[in-house]
Amino acid sequence: MRKFLFSLFLICYMASPLANQGEDFLAIREAFRAGDAARVAFYAKRLQNDVLAPYVEYYQLRLYLETTDVGTIRAFLARYDDSLVADRLRADWLRVLGRRQQWSLFAEEYPKLVNQDEGLTCYSLQYRLAAKERAAFEEAKSLWFTERDMPDSCTPVFNQLMTSGQLSVEDVWTRIRLALEAGNTGVARHVSRYLPANQTLNVQKLNEAAKDPQRYLERNPHDYRIRSDREIVLFALSHLLRSGTNHAYARWYKIRKHLPESDQSYFMGNLAYRAALRQDTRALGWFKEAASGKQPYPLTEAKLIWKTRVALREGQWDLVLQCIESMPASAQQTDVWRYWKARALKASGELGAANEILAHLSHEHSYYGQLAKEELGVMLSVPPTNYQPNLQEISAMQQVPGIQRALALYQLNQRVEANREWIWTIRNFTDQQLLAAAEVAYRHGLYDRAINTAIQTVSEHNFNLRYLAPYRDQMREVLRYHDLDEAFVYGLIRQESRFIADIKSSAGAMGLMQLMPATAKWVAGKLGMQNFHNHLVTDINTNLRLGTYYLKHVLTLFDNQPLLAAAAYNAGPGRAKQWRDELKPLEGAIYAETIPFNETRDYVKVVLNNSVYYANNFGYPYIPTLRERLGTVSPKQ
């Protein structure tokens, strides 16, 4: 029946006008996804000379990868060397080789792979562990400590770590705790099989604790002498913390005497962390209690970071410095903790050490780089002349095969695949090549690619490409009507949508200013818009009209403070108010740093930093500093 239908399809297709190559490509991709080799072969003939032909060949080869000979695979890899499709095929082939344990071929190809994943990493560790490579044991152990489920290829690796004595029983419990903290009970159950037979988790009790932690704690008998019972009790308490602090703490207070000191420390760390996320003023005291005693349980990096943020809100600079210096080296080297370490050193009177950090940080064109400049008394400065690629460079860039493939995919509205192709192609570009590619993207209306490409330059920059300002003609009227700061609005849109007019987020926000349907409907009602429908939100003029009204609304709610307005625009006015201190004013940078939502915390920093650069690009006679834009946040009323 299937062959008959396909034959009928061919007859009808051949009788119809020749379909364009874009439609053919979309058809062959769907055929590949359906595993329909006959249709793939049919369309492949029509696309032999197309710019996307490497994808077509990949689809054909991928369907028969299990049975294709090594020579054919290597010929494809050589023909499309240093391309995304070649890297994808190499990864697919390596998975086949790993499953078959053909380690000689695997060892030849694996070092050539660019885009690796944990599954392939574990295959490589399998043969390296078999060869008794010392470094492999440490690399394998670093993969163990995660709350996530790991690929099947990691199971033999972990089994070998266990049989060789590289994983202890305590290491197993540590991973179980990580999984339970994240609510991944399935991972905890799976990992518990590495425990001695007399210590495995009671699955029934674990399921009951996950379903209703309060009921479990109140109605189940607990044998605190048994570790698995204690762990489930700690899990139930931590699970209860997600819905509120006080009830879990009260329950904890009744049973804490039954638990060893290390377990008490562990729970107090969880309690303090959840309290910190709620900006509960008791958090710092609980963090200190977690660190007291002879056997304090070590805080995870996430908890240590929130202890630092609580210390910032409380103005305890000595503790800020102590916490930062306790972080892993990788965390200490990030911009955020370099900046706050410098501030803590400065507060402690160590100006030389503080200024050394700030001086290095001030060379970076980022939120913390700008704050560092201002801390040193330096105003915003960008290179007086931006590098501008010439027409020959732009023309040459448009001929790069990867750029051509990306542009073709964008033309077909295959944005995800196009982004991957673009990112792959530019990954090793020089600054000048990056700016030529950014200019190509700009000329094709791919504003997000233009910005994301231009920001990758190291020495030569073009800040007009980094901070594009399209739609200024449409913007002027609404900005004037609402008396809005153009730099602030552009800074917000750049972060919201990268100027992609028809973008829709996974949460449902739409258009340039990423309006949620309920917000758009509310604003449309306020503006008296007749016959409003949600599909109108992606219209540029409509979106700007609705979005600027709402932005003006939240600015008015918060006395024209850009920081609070940005927080409210992203997370809602109620949360922006809630994140203020109960009693004292907060430095705006500290308010921003202690926003408990990762997305909103990053969002407000980027929006306000963007605003400073846009003001500079627009040639404002006076450019407020980033610290001025952050301002001081008054306490809750």
CA–CA distance, 4 with 190 (Å, rounded to integer): 47
CA–CA distance, 327 with 199 (Å, rounded to integer): 32
CA–CA distance, 310 with 594 (Å, rounded to integer): 7
Q: Which residues pair with 515 in a beta bridge?
A: 510
Q: Tell how far CA 194 is from the center of its chain.
A: 32
Residue 409, CA distances (Å) to 155, 380, 568 in order: 38, 38, 36
| Pairing of the two strands 632-633 and 586-587 | antiparallel
Q: For 587, phi and psi rounded to 5 degrees?
A: -55, 135
The structure tokens listed for 482 are 């609402």
* Residue 97: Cβ within 10 Å count: 21
Instruction: Assign 602 to helix, strand or coil.
Output: helix
The structure tokens listed for 36 are 């329909």
Q: Are 40 and 28 in contact (CB under 8 A)?
A: yes
CA–CA distance, 411 with 23 (Å, rounded to integer): 11
* Residue 99: Cβ within 10 Å count: 12
> Number of C-alpha atoms within 13 angstroms, CB side, residue 284?
13
The set of long-range contacts for 335-341, using a CB threshold of 8 Å and a minimum separation of 24, is: 335/361, 335/364, 335/366, 335/367, 335/368, 335/369, 336/368, 336/593, 337/308, 338/368, 339/368, 339/371, 339/372, 340/308, 340/312, 340/593
CA–CA distance, 94 with 96 (Å, rounded to integer): 5
Q: % helix / strand / coil in the chain, to the nearest 5?
A: 70, 0, 30
**Beta-strand (E) ranges in 381-467?**
none
The structure tokens listed for 384 are 């007086």
The structure tokens listed for 453 are 């490409």
Q: What is the DSSP letter of 559?
A: T
Catalytic residue among 496, 582, 587, 628: 496
Residue 582, CA distances (Å) to 274, 313, 577, 579, 636 in order: 18, 11, 10, 9, 5
| b (16+ CB within 10 A) / e for 50-82 | bbbbbbbbbbbbbbeeeebeeeebeebbeebee
**Radius of gyration over alpha carbons of the chain, in Å?**
29
CA–CA distance, 61 with 77 (Å, rounded to integer): 11
The structure tokens listed for 514 are 């990423």
The three-state DSSP-derived secondary structure of 281-303 is CCHHHHHHHHHCCCCCCCCCHHH
Q: Tell how far CA 174 is from the center of its chain.
A: 25
Q: Return all residues near 167 (Cβ < 8 A) that are at least 6 apart.
A: 141, 144, 158, 161, 194
> Number of C-alpha atoms within 13 angstroms, CB side, residue 138?
2
Determine whether 133 is an active site residue. Answer: no
Q: End-to-end alpha-carbon separation of the chain, Å?
A: 73
* Residue 218: Cβ within 10 Å count: 10
Q: Which residues are catalytic?
A: 496
